[in-house]
């Protein structure tokens, strides 16, 4: 075999390798790209009127939550304070999910989420994902026209007033059977909110964080 034959063989296998590399599973690609999006401490002064401390649920933590909810029905996911979009993009891999929506007030994080989605755009899962840059306290959930919803709220840094406002918005704007998972509970009485459980999951700041789970009657 001469040099030209070796070169042709090498180029053939190189092309095959590149094709396989482009077809890495969706979640593997997400986990590969996401770590490049890190610190945003420089934005704290820009958003001084908002508590934008950044922490997030780990992939294993989300799997723990989904395993607990395996007997509940939902086809849509909303992440309130969705940051750089990791959880919304992860949820899009679930076949039963038809819409995965993230709402994030910090434009720079929102832009990172859009960039991450773009990097994964060769996967059809990303067609399910929408990222919204805005204040979730002001956002009108009714216009999403969702039916069976799971909401995640990483609200440990929110004060109680904001947490209560979010719960009241969910009560008034989303359908019954909506599932709410959050890091901090509301502190008002309402018979329409049923507490299902309290579980521990892995978060970025702790291996064992409390998550409260509710269902809207």
Q: What is the pLDDT along the chain (217 residues), one digit of tens a residue?
A: 555 665 555 555 545 444 444 446 999 999 999 988 765 555 544 544 555 455 688 899 999 999 999 999 999 999 999 999 999 999 999 999 999 999 999 999 999 999 999 999 999 999 999 999 999 889 999 999 999 999 999 998 889 999 999 999 999 999 999 999 999 999 999 999 999 999 999 887 678 899 999 999 9
Tell me whether residue 35 is in a domain.
no
Model pLDDT, residue 187: 95
**Neighbouring-strand partners of residue 199:** 211
Residue 3: what pLDDT?
58
Q: Which domain holds residue 154?
A: 43-216
Residue 62 shares a structural domain with residue 115: yes
Residues 16 and 50 in one domain: no
Q: Does one domain contain both 8 and 90?
A: no
Strand partners, 79: 102, 152
Q: What's the total number of domains in the chain?
A: 2
Give the pLDDT score at 56.
85
95 shares a domain with 17: no
Q: Is there a domain that residue 37 lies in? A: no
Beta-carbon contacts of 46 under 8 Å, excluding residues fewer than 6 positions away, are: none
Is the domain of 163 the same as that of 99? yes
The per-residue pLDDT for 77 is: 98
Domain of 158, CATH number, reads 3.40.50.150
- Check whether residue 53 and residue 118 sit in a common domain: yes
Distance CA 77, CA 99 (A): 6
State the DSSP string of the chain.
Answer: --HHHHHHHHHHHHHHHHHHHHT--HHHHHHHHGGG----GGGTTTTTTS------B-HHHHHHHHHHGGGS--SEEEEET-TTSHHHHHHTTSTT--EEEEEES-HHHHHHHHHHHHHTTTSGGGGGEEEEES-TTT--GGGG--SSEEEEE--TTS-HHHHHHHHHHHHHHS-TT-EEEESS---S--TTEEEEEEEEEEETTEEEEEEEEEEE-
Cβ-contact 158, 131 below 8 angstroms: no
Instruction: Report pLDDT for 36.
Output: 83
- The pTM for the full model equals 0.82
């Amino acid at each position: 075999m001469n040099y030209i034959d070796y070169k042709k063989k090498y180029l053939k296998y190189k092309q095959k390798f590149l094709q396989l590399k482009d077809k890495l599973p969706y979640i593997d690609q997400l986990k590969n790209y996401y770590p490049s999006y890190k610190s945003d401490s420089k934005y704290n002064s820009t958003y001084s009127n908002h508590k934008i401390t950044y922490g997030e649920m780990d992939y294993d933590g989300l799997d723990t939550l989904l395993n607990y909810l395996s007997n509940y029905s939902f086809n849509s996911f909303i992440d309130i304070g969705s940051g750089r979009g990791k959880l919304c993009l992860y949820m899009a891999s679930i076949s039963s999910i038809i819409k995965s929506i993230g709402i994030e007030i910090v434009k720079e994080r929102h832009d990172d989420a859009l960039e991450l989605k773009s990097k994964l755009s060769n996967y059809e899962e990303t067609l399910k994902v929408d990222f919204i840059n805005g204040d979730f306290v002001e956002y009108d959930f009714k216009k999403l026209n969702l039916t069976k919803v799971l909401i995640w709220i990483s609200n440990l840094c929110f004060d109680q007033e904001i947490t209560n406002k979010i719960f009241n918005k969910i009560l008034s704007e989303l359908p019954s059977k909506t599932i709410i998972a959050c890091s901090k509970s509301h502190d008002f009485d309402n018979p329409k909110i049923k507490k299902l459980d309290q579980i521990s999951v892995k978060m970025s700041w702790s291996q064992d964080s409390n998550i409260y789970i509710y269902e809207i009657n």
